[in-house]
Structure 1
Amino acid sequence: MAPAYGVRVHQFFHAVSVFGHELVNVGWTFLGLALLLHVLKLMLRAIAWRSILVAAYPTHRIRLRTTLGAYVAGVGVNSIAPARSGDLVKLYLVRARIPGAKVTTLAPTLVAETAFDAIVAGGLMLWALAIGVLPTRQVYEKLPTVEWRFFFRHVEATGIVFGLVAVAVVISLFWARGHIARFFDRIRQGFAVFSLPRRLLLGVVLPQALSWILRIATLYCFLRAFHIDATVHNAMLAQVVDSLATLFPATPGGAGTKQGLIVYVFRGQAVSTAALLAFSVGMNIAIVISNVVLGLIAMGLMARTFSWRALFPAQPPDDEPANA
């Protein structure tokens, strides 16, 4: 996959050069508004995560500033590091402030936090399929910047790998069966919010639904900033591209992949490839810079360091209480 990764990098930097030529035409007012809406979206998502954590640890006082700082720091790391490394940062920063918290309980809270997203994103995917804008498997294989086309080209090998992983998981669970009950109790604790309908609806679903409205509004403003036909339809298409590009996060934020998909999904519209690349790269750069700056501030305030890698060597073992 190394040659494919090199192609993605080349395509991305080509798109960056196109963006440089289009920079003078950017609508800065709408760009600023888009970033403001993006920050508000992050705040709403932190509120939802706090509700999930409170349900998991009802006897602990969990401050909003703790979850907001941890969430923003994790988003910042995810913007520059692949494979969602920022999620580990979220877990570390929150765990350090919840006495007795366990990773086996905290990790499911992040899964619970994405449940509503999966429903909405799945609905958008079905909508995009219904109107025929998504590429087929054959097209995916030919798009040079879609890093996960490897899985489509090697279906048999992919199936074997996933099968071996499944067997390894089953063997591991059998070997550790003496600890299974306690392990699953901790996992269930992380999903406790699903047994509290009122908290789930008002504390999780409501802020996340609002965050999705802000997400579409953010994309609408970015479209306006880069002079692409700004409609709710096109903003939703851009969101579909974003969701697809981060499905297998081999590059930070799906960089490279987004540029390949955006051109295909917007095919047939009266917009140039240069404008689409400028929009995709410009939006990506603006959001990454915003996320990284906010993430560094949050990490500096919470962990007294600006290096996310420096967080983990000092992390105590999972069976020891975390420091308050």
Structure 2
Amino acid sequence: MTNTVLSPPPAPVEPRHRWLPFGDRSRSSRLRKVLAWLAGLVLVLVVLELLGVDVLGWFSDLWDALSAIGFGYLVAGWTLQSLKTGLTAFAWYSILRVAFPAGRVAFLQILAAYAAGVALNGFLPANLGTVVTLLMYVAIIPGANLPGVLGGMVVHKIFFSFAGAFVYVYLIVSASGSLDIDLPDLGGHPVLLLGALAGAALLLVILGRTFWRKLRGLWAEAVQGGAILAQPREYALKVALPSFGAWLAKLGVIAVFLAGYGITVTFHTVMSVVGSGSIANVVSVTPGGVGVNQAADVAALSGVTDTATATAYSIGQQLAITAWNVAFALVLVVWAFGWTGGKLLVEQSYADAKVKVEEQKVRRAETKATKRAR
């Protein structure tokens, strides 16, 4: 009997897409595909221009914004923005890791999903990018569900709610003239004085009861995805502390770009921009808050610089940070999920996000119709 040596079976060839350069062993083929993609991209830009989309104008504005300040300011701003994104994502990672311990949450994937949402918020209205991020979390974490992730979001917002309240209180207290109102002399009118004090006390009681009901509601929502709240030390070190660092990085981004455009940087100036941005973010319905952010920043900086400089700062910072967010997210998504997997994940999450938003609109309309019928 002849001993035959069986050759090992050939290694399975990893499937690849014909039109993508990734995984192609031929250097010349990869080069041709890259050139073809670049040519296709140019063709898409030309078609968009013909359809009336001012793509070249956007790139021109971006170049003007980037060249208006020194490169060092851009590097500092982008570094702080990356730090902000990373710290915020780490807080999310800590929350989800405890909420779904069997899911084996990976930080890189959480970071990529969060960065993708931040980038999309630069183009989509009504913070739709945030919804995309939440749905990506549900998709990438085994055993995760949307109610649990929403509960985690409530926990994630606790620190930022206090930070936002601090900004508003500071601006109200420090507003010019807010504490210099000429009050009537009530010394000779004890009844009026007692009435004013009683009214103020009643107002405080009403506000306290209102906020307490909201706080109880937030706590009920946070229980499902907020398991980390049962571990105060873990929450303080791995959620609150990174969130505080992310908030400081956000202030740093604003300060860097203010300095880059020659605007005096003070604590009050930075707080004014933060407060105006928060309000603009709530009322904005335009993609990326374009226009609304500029109007809010001009109003916030009216006492320290002229309208033209404030507008240039606002547009420059938004364009520079948006461009960086897109590039940063693209690298992370490809790194974490691969080119094809990341593309499909973001596209599917975006489609699901639009469906969720439409469902919420329908529910609100039905609720209003029911109330009117009563």
Report the TM-score, using the length of structure 1 for normalisation: 0.69
- The yes-or-no answer on 1:105 pairing with 2:148 is yes
**1:266 matched to 2:301:** yes
For 2:258, the equivalent position in structure 1 comes to 223
**Counterparts in 2 of 1:23 and 1:75: CA distance versus 1, 3 Å:** closer
1:27 counterpart residue number: 70
Q: 1:102 to 1:20 in 2, by over 3 A?
A: closer
Cα distance, 1:76 vs structure 2: 1.0
Note the C-alpha offset of 1:41: 0.8
Letter in 2 for 1:83: A
User: Cα deviation per residue 1:40-79 (whole Å; 9 max; x = unaligned)?
Assistant: 1110001111111122113332111121111111111111
RMSD of aligned Cα (Å): 3.0
Q: Distance in 2 between matches of 1:104 and 1:22?
A: 41
Q: Read off the aligned partner of 1:105 and give its amino acid letter.
A: G
Partner of 2:325: 291
| 2:103/2:144 contact within 8 Å kept | no
Residues 235 and 305 of structure 1: CA distance in aligned 2, closer, same or farther (over 3 Å): same
Q: Alignment partner of 2:282: what SS?
A: coil
Query: What letter corresponds to residue 117 of structure 2 in structure 1?
Result: G
Moved more, 89-98 or 50-59: 89-98
Q: Is there any run of 5+ residues in structure 1 with no aligned partner, and where? A: 1-15, 136-183, 316-324
57 and 214 in structure 1: CA distance in 2 versus 1, 3 angstrom threshold: same
Q: Is this contact kept in 1: 2:147–2:224, CA < 8 A?
A: no
Distance change in 2, residues 1:185/1:247 (3 Å): closer
Of the three residues 26, 38, 46, the one matched with 2:89 is 46
Counterpart secondary structure, 1:80: coil
CA distance in 2, matches of 1:313, 1:261: 31
In 1: Cα distance, 2:176 partner to 2:61 partner = 24
Q: Specify whether residues 79 and 247 from structure 1 end up closer, same or farther in structure 2 by C-alpha distance, changes over 3 A only.
A: same
Alpha-carbon distance change, 290 to 18 in structure 1, aligned in 2, over 3 angstroms? closer
1:276 aligns with 2:310: yes
1:86 aligns with 129
Q: 1:236 matched to which residue of 2?
A: 271
2:243 maps to what in 1? 208
Amino acid across the alignment from 1:64: F
User: Post-superposition shift, 1:283?
Assistant: 0.3
What one-letter code is carried by the residue in structure 1 that aligns with 2:308?
Answer: A
Question: Is contact 2:119-2:325 (8 Å) kept?
Answer: yes
SS in 1 for 2:142: coil
The structure that has the greater radius of gyration is 2
CA distance in structure 1 between the aligned counterparts of 2:285 and 2:135, rounded to whole angstroms: 22
Q: Secondary structure at the match of 2:283?
A: coil
Report how far residue 281 of structure 1 moved: 0.5
Question: What is the DSSP-based 3-state SS (H/G/I as helix, E as strand, rest coil) of the residue aligned with 1:194?
Answer: helix
Write the letter of the residue equivalent to 1:58: P
Percent identity reads: 29
Q: TM-score, normalised by structure 2?
A: 0.61
Matched pairs, number: 252
Does residue 154 of structure 2 align to residue 116 of structure 1? Answer: no
Asked if structure 2 preserves the Cα contact closer than 8 Å seen for 1:193 and 1:200, the reply is yes
